Amino acid sequence: MQDSLYLSPDILTYHKDNKTAYDILEKYFRIDELKSREILKANSRDIFIPEEITLMPPQNESTQGQSVPTAIVNEVMLKDKHSSIYYHFKL
3-state DSSP: the chain helix, strand, coil percent, rounded to 5? 25, 30, 45
Domain ranges, residue 43: 2-90
Contact 47, 16 (CB under 8 A): yes
Could you report the per-residue pLDDT of 26-63, keeping only the tens digit for each? 989 898 999 999 999 999 999 999 999 998 877 766 55
- Give the count of domains, the chain: 1
- Of 31, 50, 44, whose CA–CA distance to 3 is shortest? 44
- Classify 37 in phi/psi space as left (phi over 0), alpha (psi -120 to 50) or beta: alpha
Which of 69, 88, 61 lies closest to 77, judged by CA? 88
pLDDT in tens, 67-84: 677 899 999 999 988 899
